[in-house]
Amino acid sequence: MCGIFVSCGSNVSFSNHEQLSKLLYHRGPDNQTNLRINDKLIFGHTRLSIIDLNNISNQPFRDEHSIIIFNGLIYNYLEIKKKLTKFYNFKTQSDTEVISAAYSVWKKDCFKYLNGMFSIVIYDLKTKEIIVARDRLGIKPLYYRQFGGNLYLSSEIKPLLKLGNYRQDFQAIYNYFQYSFYEDVDQTFFEEVKQFQPNHYYVIKNNKISSKKCYWDLKKKLLRLLKI
């Protein structure tokens, strides 16, 4: 379990970002790093070391194509790594670098190759886009909130509530008690906090979500298996 916290906007504060990211330190006791990428973007990551304990695999992880922060585990990373060895010069044994290599080769199509549980945030050094993806079934969480003209991303809701006042989403609460729905689509129990949907990737431009796309569809997979 690792922690992700991102501050994105024209008036983000590094000190405020640091204070909020500290609320996720329990998720990653092995390393905590906050990186100011530019005047409008700060990546924060707390790492629980599972694969490749070397410090070279700490995050944010950067290569010539992108900067990546990642929470989770890619089950088939060795198989993907084998496919990419002729295209990418690997320097670590981590699954994080495999994501980085996959993005450098396949770009946004890379997510359909990943079998695992993950929340991923990628900053493309060429296009200046932020790409966000969650795993197929939404095992690993990732939330966001617009506040003060900025966009904040977090592995947990608590830091996002610290940004300012918030209201409970009573429809989400009703759905929980009436239908046993625990958060629905992008809703949470708080009106101001949303979650990134599973099996989708999002593109963030100008501090706002500009597009999203489904990269894996369970219904289509089942229909194909059943040959309907």
Tell me the angle at which helices 77-84 and 95-106 cross, rounded to the nearest 10 degrees. Answer: 50
3-state secondary structure the chain: CCEEEEEECCCCCHHHHHHHHHHHHHHCECEEEEEEEECCEEEEEEECCCCCCCHHHCCCEECCCEEEEEEEEECCHHHHHHHHCCCCCCCCCCHHHHHHHHHHHHHHHHHHHCCEEEEEEEEECCCCCEEEEECCCCCCCCEEEEECCEEEEECCCHHHHCCCCCCECHHHHHHHHHHCCCCCCCCCCECCCEECCCCEEEEEECCEEEEEEECCCHHHHHHHHHCC
Backbone angles phi, psi at 209, to 5 degrees: -70, 115
Q: Is 2 a catalytic residue?
A: yes
Catalytic residue among 2, 8, 110, 214: 2
Which residues are the active-site residues? 2
